[in-house]
Chains A and B, each alone.
Chain A
Amino acid sequence: MRKVAVVGVGHSKFGRRDDVNLGELAFESIKPALEDAGLAPEDIPFLVVGNGGFSEETLPAVAIADYAELYNAEMLRVEAACASSSAALATGYHAVASGKVDVAMVVGCEKMTELDTPYVVELIGRAGFFFWEFQHFGLTFPGYYALHAAAYLNQYGATEEHLAMVAVKNHKYAATNPYAQFRQEITIEQALKSPYIAWPLKLFDCCPITDGSATVVLAAEEKAKKLTDTPVWIEAIEGCGGSANLSKRESFVGLKAAQVAAEKAFKKAKITPNKIDVANVHDCFTIAELMAMEDVGFCRRGEAYKLVEEGQTYIGGKIPINVDGGLKAKGHPIGATGTSMIYSLTKQLRGEYIKSNQAPIKNGYALAHNVGGTGHYAYVTILCRK
C-alpha cells in the first residue's frame, strides 16, 4: 500500500442554500479544491461522491460530475448516512493507496432544504431501522440520540447543562467561521430555555438542517510531493458498522462502531489519543460529542462531561474539539460532513486555518470521527502533517 496525502481542499458556505442546486453547490468546493491542489478537471481519474440522498437527484454523482465536467473519471456515489463522505474518502484512499490511480477526488455534497422541514424529519427518522422502529413507533433522528442522552445522563450524573456547554462552545467557534451556518454565539441560559425536540434534547442540542459541500483531493506520495510542500498524510482511515436495530445494542452510553473504528485507526497510525492536537467529532447532537470523546479515547467512559465543564475542549485546553463550529453550529449537510471535517483539519495541520480558530499544533496529528446514523456506520481518520 502506498502513502496517501490530502493535497487539496475546498468548502462551500453551509446553510440554507436555496440559491443553488446540487451541482452548483458541489462546484463551490470542487473549484477551490482543484486550485488548492494545482490540478485541472481532466487530471482527475477517480471521483467518489458522498451523498445521503436528500435532493431530487436520484443519481447525485452524475449530476455533480456533469456540472463540473469531470468526464475523465471513473466515478461512483457512496452512502454511509451522515458518514457518507468519510466512506467516500476511504474509497478514494484505497484507490490511491492500492496503486490503481495516483489522484482521486472526493466530493461530499448534500442539499437538504429543498424539502420542507417535517419531510426532512420524516426522511431522517426513517433512516434507522425502518420497519421495527419508524413504521410503528415514529422514532426521529433526535429521538435516537435522545435515547442515548437519557441513558448517559442517568448513568453518569451529567446534566442538561453539560449538554448546553457543548452547544455554547461550538457556536462560539462557528461565529468566526465564515462557512458556518450559525454565526452567532449563544449562552447556556438560551440553550437551556430552548424548546424540547426529543426529551431530553432541546433545540440547541440539535444540529440544523443544512445544505453544503466540501471536496478533498488525494494523491499518492510521489505525486503529492510534486504537487505541494504541505501534504497532509492520511495515517489511518478505519470504519466499522453497528447494529441498526436499537434492540440489538449492548449499551446506550456510547457507540460501539465508533469505539472499534477508533481502536483500529490508532493501531494503524501507531499513536495514542494523547498525541492528537485537534479533533473534529460527530456532534450531530450535543450528547454525541460527549459519547464521541469517550468512544475515541480522549477520556474514560463517563468523564467527557467533566472535561467539557473544565473547558478542556476549547483551544488552549487538553484537546480542542470541533473548533470550526462542529455539526452543531457549522451545520450538518449529511453527505458533506466527513469531507468538511477533513477540510478543517487539513487547514489546521497546515497552520493556515482562521486565526481565531487555529489550534496549536504540537505533535502534528488531527483526528476526524464521523458517525452515520446512530452508530450504524462509523469512520475515524487520523491525519498527520509530518
Chain B
Amino acid sequence: MSKKEEKPFILSRPLTLIYKLPISKTLPFWEGLKKGKFLTTKCKNCGKMTFPPQADCPSCYSSEVEWVELSKEAELLTATAIMVKPTSFAQEETYIVAVAKLKEGLKAVGWLKGIKPDPAELKEKIKPGMKLKVETVVPKEGNPYYVFIPA
C-alpha cells in the first residue's frame, strides 16, 4: 500500500493532560500492595466481595465494607500479548495481559509474567485453567501493582 501524500494542515495548540486519580476510598489496597498483601473489599451487610475493591457495595448498596486479604491463588481464564502499545506504554517490552479467576471466585485483570510473549509460546501455554499466583510489585518509581505468574 502506498502512503498518500498528506494534505495541507495547521498544527493545533498542544495540550498535555495529566489527571489526578482519587484513591482515598481504595487506599488500603495500595498500602497493602506495598506490604506484599493483596486486599479487597467485602460487604458487611450482604457478604459480597468485589474486585477491584470498591467502597460501596454494588449488590445491596451498603457503604459498610471491610478489607479482607485474598489468597493470591488463581487460574487463567484468557490472555493477550500487546505488541502494538499505547504511547504511554511505548517504553515497555511486549507485555501479556491476563484475566484470571481468583480462588475466592472473583476475577482480576493484570500482567502475566514468566511467559515469553512470542506467538508460538503463547499458543502453547495460554490455556484456560493454568495455575497462577499473584505477586505484588513495588517499583522504585511509580505506583505499586500486582502481577500473575505461573504457579
Chain A residues in contact with chain B, CB under 8 A?
A: 16, 18-19, 56, 114, 118-119, 121-122, 125-126, 131-140, 142-143, 146-151, 154-155, 195-201, 245-249, 252
Q: Which residues of A contact B127 (CB under 8 A)?
A: 154
B6, B9, B97, B126: the one within 8 Å of A139 (CB)? B97
> In the bound complex, do residue B109 and residue A140 qualify as a contact, i.e. CB atoms below 8 Å apart?
no
> In the bound complex, do residue A133 and residue B117 qualify as a contact, i.e. CB atoms below 8 Å apart?
no
> In the bound complex, do residue A136 and residue B88 qualify as a contact, i.e. CB atoms below 8 Å apart?
no
Nearest A residue to B146 via CB reads: A136
A251 CB to nearest B CB, Å: 9
B119 CB to nearest A CB, Å: 6
A80 CB to nearest B CB, Å: 21
| Residue of B109, B119, B143 with highest tally of chain A CB at under 10 A | B109
B79, B81, B86, B95: the one within 8 Å of A121 (CB)? B86
> In the bound complex, do residue A249 and residue B84 qualify as a contact, i.e. CB atoms below 8 Å apart?
no
> In the bound complex, do residue B78 and residue A150 qualify as a contact, i.e. CB atoms below 8 Å apart?
yes
Given contacts A147-B97, A200-B123, A140 and B86 within 8 Å (CB-CB): yes
B70 CB to nearest A CB, Å: 13
Nearest B residue to A130 via CB reads: B21
**Additional pairs, 10, CB under 8 Å, beyond known A138-B95, A147-B99:** A118-B87, A135-B21, A137-B111, A138-B82, A138-B86, A139-B97, A142-B84, A143-B97, A148-B78, A252-B78
A126, A131, A195, A199: the one within 8 Å of B122 (CB)? A199
> In the bound complex, do residue A132 and residue B52 qualify as a contact, i.e. CB atoms below 8 Å apart?
yes
Given contacts A138-B92, A150-B79, A247-B108, A121 and B85 within 8 Å (CB-CB): yes
Q: Which residues of A contact B77 (CB under 8 A)?
A: 151, 252
**Complex Cα distance A140/B145, Å?**
18
Q: How large is the interface on B (under 10, 10 to 19, 20 to 34, 35 or more residues)?
A: 35 or more
Cβ of B90 within 8 Å of any chain A Cβ, yes or no, is yes
Nearest B residue to A20 via CB reads: B7
> In the bound complex, do residue B90 and residue A118 qualify as a contact, i.e. CB atoms below 8 Å apart?
yes
Could you mark each residue 84-124 of chain B with 1 if its beta carbon is under 8 Å from any beta carbon of chain A, else 0? 11111110100101010000001111110000010100110
Q: Is the interface of A mostly helix, strand, loop or mixed?
A: helix
Subset of 29 A-B contacts with CB under 8 Å: A18-B6, A18-B9, A118-B87, A119-B87, A121-B85, A121-B87, A134-B86, A135-B21, A137-B95, A137-B97, A138-B82, A138-B86, A138-B95, A139-B109, A142-B84, A154-B78, A154-B126, A154-B127, A154-B128, A195-B83, A196-B119, A198-B80, A198-B84, A199-B122, A200-B80, A246-B99, A246-B107, A249-B99, A252-B77
A161 CB to nearest B CB, Å: 13
Cβ of B51 within 8 Å of any chain A Cβ, yes or no, is yes
A137, A196, A197: the one within 8 Å of B110 (CB)? A137
Cβ of B24 within 8 Å of any chain A Cβ, yes or no, is no
> In the bound complex, do residue B84 and residue A197 qualify as a contact, i.e. CB atoms below 8 Å apart?
yes
Q: Which residues of B contact A197 (CB under 8 A)?
A: 83-84
> In the bound complex, do residue B84 and residue A121 qualify as a contact, i.e. CB atoms below 8 Å apart?
yes
Cβ of B4 within 8 Å of any chain A Cβ, yes or no, is yes
Q: Which residues of B contact A131 (CB under 8 A)?
A: 21, 52
B77 CB to nearest A CB, Å: 7
Nearest B residue to A135 via CB reads: B21
**Complex Cα distance A43/B52, Å?**
50
B96 CB to nearest A CB, Å: 8
Nearest A residue to B19 via CB reads: A130
A346 CB to nearest B CB, Å: 31
Q: Which residues of B contact A121 (CB under 8 A)?
A: 84-87
Could you mark each residue 64-86 of chain B with 1 if its beta carbon is under 8 Å from any beta carbon of chain A, else 0? 00000000000001111111111
Nearest B residue to A134 via CB reads: B86
**Complex Cα distance A131/B85, Å?**
17
B132 CB to nearest A CB, Å: 14
